[in-house]
Amino acid sequence: MCDVMVPAVYKITVLQPHADPSWLGSASYVAFFVASLGVLIVALVAFIFLIGRESMPKSGTVSQKSGRKSGRIIAAIFFCLFFMTQGIAFSQDSTELIVFGPADDILGSTIKEISQSFSDADNIAVNITQVKGREAIVKEVTKNTSNADIVILEREFPLFNLTGMKKLGEKKVIDNYTHLYSERALLVFRKGEPIGNLGDLNGMKIAVTDQHVPGACLAKKIVDRERLNVSEVNTSSNEAQLDAIIAGRADATVLWESMFETYNNSTDPEIDVLDLPDYRMDNFIAVLNRSKNPVEAQRYLNFLLAAMASGNHDSKGALMATA
């Protein structure tokens, strides 16, 4: 049975800052490196000639002198390694932003790549947790134990009775939210069919599926809501809905645009598409009041909004260089 209340399934992607080979060109890093090197040299000298000398037995034999020299060398190497690891740990930013959002293709591709660009630019790790089941996102980020910093969710979507951001506002876990992206619903049909709106589907064969995956219910829900007089052709997946049209087993179907574009047959010259603005899902972004990193979270939100609004990213979401 088609049901949007699917069991919650989590997909976690942790984006770490990529190493920047030009870090030595930064004045702050150079200053840190020089200061650390100076402290390391002073500490080594003090250790070898003070602590090292007192800790070694005072004997004039060759073997004892050799042992004392080896001990000092080993101690010096150990001390070097200790200071190096401490310096590296000190220089790295341990901040990690936790982002909760839906299991759609836009968050899993475009937004993920933009988030990687943010991570590289700000040296902040970004943990993207995609959840199959939008109601589960609301439950997760409203828990007292939640460590989420940012949430991406719909404000409302009547077709599935979803009111994500409204619920979060009522529960006082967010103060406001901003539109991030829209997921278009596309009517997909064989080219040449006399279809200009949903009403033209009456009397036709419509491919649907009831599998428990994000967006699977879309075609069936719209058929029911519009009370269309159609023959339903049940398929095993969203991609199979498209295949049924190309094979001539169905006349039309409805798919989310981001899903449609991932299928090989989406470029078939025998199919056409029509936007259904009444069923477009608008997704919003908000910083959670409980965020442990509110400043960094707001910076990430602004970065993401700017990139999405400007279109300054390629088809995979990676930021492009500006002129």
- What is the residue extent of each domain of the chain? 23-91, 98-182+281-310, 185-279
Closest CA to 272 of 179, 168, 191: 191
Is pLDDT at 48 greater than 70 in this prediction? no
Residue 259 CA: distances (Å) to CA of 13, 99, 103, 124, 256: 19, 22, 11, 30, 5
Whether the model pTM is above 0.85: no
Residues facing 275 on adjacent strands: 186
Is pLDDT at 35 greater than 90 in this prediction? no
- Give, to the nearest 10 degrees, the angle between helix 294-310 and helix 110-122: 130
Is pLDDT at 223 greater than 50 in this prediction? yes
Same fold, 98-182+281-310 and 185-279: yes
Tokens standing for residue 104: 């759609």
Query: Would you say domain 98-182+281-310 falls under CATH 3.30.720.210?
Result: no
Is pLDDT at 118 greater than 60 in this prediction? yes
Is pLDDT at 180 greater than 60 in this prediction? yes
Residues facing 154 on adjacent strands: 283
- pLDDT at residue number 224: 94
Answer positive or negative: Cα dihedral of 304, 308, 311, 315: positive
pLDDT tier, 164 (very low <50, low <70, confident <90, very high otherwise): very high
Is pLDDT at 24 greater than 50 in this prediction? no
Instruction: Determine the CATH number of domain 185-279.
Output: 3.40.190.10
DSSP 229: -
Gap between the Cα atoms of 273 and 166, Å rounded: 32
Gap between the Cα atoms of 114 and 293, Å rounded: 19
**Tokens 């025998």 label which residue?**
270
